[in-house]
Protein backbone atom coordinates (compact mmCIF):
# COMPACT_ATOMS: atom_id res chain seq x y z
CA UNK A 1 0.00 0.00 0.00
CA UNK A 2 1.33 3.42 -0.79
CA UNK A 3 -1.05 5.87 0.84
CA UNK A 4 -4.61 6.81 1.63
CA UNK A 5 -5.98 8.88 -1.23
CA UNK A 6 -7.48 12.27 -0.58
CA UNK A 7 -11.10 13.13 -1.33
CA UNK A 8 -9.91 15.56 -4.00
CA UNK A 9 -7.91 12.82 -5.75
CA UNK A 10 -10.82 10.37 -5.53
CA UNK A 11 -13.34 12.79 -7.03
CA UNK A 12 -11.39 12.87 -10.29
CA UNK A 13 -11.18 9.08 -10.67
CA UNK A 14 -13.38 6.76 -12.77
CA UNK A 15 -14.53 4.13 -10.23
CA UNK A 16 -15.88 0.70 -11.19
CA UNK A 17 -16.84 -2.50 -9.44
CA UNK A 18 -16.96 -6.13 -10.40
CA UNK A 19 -19.85 -7.44 -12.45
CA UNK A 20 -19.96 -10.21 -9.82
CA UNK A 21 -21.03 -7.77 -7.09
CA UNK A 22 -23.84 -9.01 -4.95
CA UNK A 23 -25.84 -7.99 -1.96
CA UNK A 24 -29.41 -7.07 -1.14
CA UNK A 25 -28.94 -3.45 -2.21
CA UNK A 26 -26.45 -4.07 -5.02
CA UNK A 27 -23.62 -2.05 -3.51
CA UNK A 28 -21.81 -4.63 -1.39
CA UNK A 29 -18.51 -4.48 -3.14
CA UNK A 30 -15.07 -2.98 -3.40
CA UNK A 31 -14.64 -0.38 -6.13
CA UNK A 32 -11.41 0.28 -8.02
CA UNK A 33 -10.06 3.21 -9.99
CA UNK A 34 -6.76 3.10 -11.80
CA UNK A 35 -4.11 5.62 -12.73
CA UNK A 36 -0.73 4.80 -14.27
CA UNK A 37 1.01 4.73 -10.89
CA UNK A 38 -1.78 3.81 -8.44
CA UNK A 39 -4.66 1.36 -8.01
CA UNK A 40 -7.23 3.11 -5.80
CA UNK A 41 -9.64 1.01 -3.71
CA UNK A 42 -12.75 1.97 -1.74
CA UNK A 43 -15.82 0.34 -0.17
CA UNK A 44 -18.88 0.95 -2.34
CA UNK A 45 -21.05 1.39 0.77
CA UNK A 46 -19.00 4.40 1.91
CA UNK A 47 -18.06 6.26 -1.26
CA UNK A 48 -18.45 9.79 0.08
CA UNK A 49 -16.51 9.80 3.35
CA UNK A 50 -15.09 6.31 3.68
CA UNK A 51 -11.42 5.40 3.55
CA UNK A 52 -9.67 5.01 0.22
CA UNK A 53 -6.47 3.07 -0.20
CA UNK A 54 -3.82 3.32 -2.88
CA UNK A 55 -1.60 0.46 -4.06
CA UNK A 56 1.29 0.41 -6.49
CA UNK A 57 0.57 -1.73 -9.57
CA UNK A 58 3.10 -4.33 -8.41
CA UNK A 59 1.52 -4.56 -4.94
CA UNK A 60 -1.94 -4.91 -6.53
CA UNK A 61 -0.69 -7.61 -8.91
CA UNK A 62 0.64 -9.54 -5.93
CA UNK A 63 -2.81 -9.47 -4.31
CA UNK A 64 -4.90 -10.49 -7.31
CA UNK A 65 -3.72 -14.13 -7.66
CA UNK A 66 -4.77 -14.72 -4.05
CA UNK A 67 -8.21 -13.11 -4.33
CA UNK A 68 -9.87 -16.02 -6.12
CA UNK A 69 -8.73 -18.72 -3.69
pLDDT tens, 14-66? Answer: 988 876 666 666 556 888 899 999 999 888 878 777 888 899 999 988 877 66
pLDDT tens digits, residue range 2-23? 445 554 455 688 988 876 666 6
Provide the whole-model pTM. 0.67
* Cα separation values, 59 from 18, 48, 55, 56, Å: 19, 25, 6, 5
**What torsion do the CA atoms of 33, 39, 41, 47 make, to the nearest 10 degrees?**
-40
Amino acid sequence: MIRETSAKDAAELAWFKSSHSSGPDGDSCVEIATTPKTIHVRDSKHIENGPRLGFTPSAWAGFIPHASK
